Amino acid sequence: MLCPANGEPLVIIEVEDVELDVCPEGHGIWFDADELRMLFLKAGVREELHALDQKLERLKKAKGPKRRCPRCSRKMWKVAAPGRSEHVILDACPDDHGLWFDPGELEEMLRSQLVEDEALDRVRDYLGAFISKGNPIDPDD
């Protein structure tokens, strides 16, 4: 699969039986359909957030580059996810293959939804540096 941001191959990293597809240059992270729910389930996040990816609102007039889905290469939709101040704009495959998070977007969304610090800390423990803004991934580590 190719990174929607720069077209380079994504690196697959398995975290607690959840495969993460990350850009080694730090451009973002791809969650296949249901992987976000699996991560939340494993981290013990309250149940009403497990289907958060199904509550995203499609934006018809969103700014930003039209990115392609790493799975099917179709142009992805811009969708609004809850954020602390305003919505976080994500890229979502129109065929429900998954979600693309640019650096900082996953952290922003999680901070707005996981009001109890323990749940946010558990998700951070699972994802480690992958949710920190701008940290490139070194595939040789």
Q: What is the pTM of this model?
A: 0.82
Q: Rounded mean pLDDT of 110-133?
A: 67
Condensed to tens digits (0 to 9), the pLDDT of residues 76-116 reads 999 998 766 677 899 999 999 999 999 988 888 777 776 56
Strand-pair partners of 77: 92
pLDDT given at position 128: 67
As a whole number of angstroms, the distance between CA 68 and CA 89 comes to: 15
Condensed to tens digits (0 to 9), the pLDDT of residues 11-61 reads 998 877 778 899 999 999 999 988 888 888 877 777 766 677 777 888 888
Q: Is 22 left (phi over 0), alpha (psi -120 to 50) or beta?
A: beta
- Decide: 52 and 72 in contact? Cβ < 8 Å: no
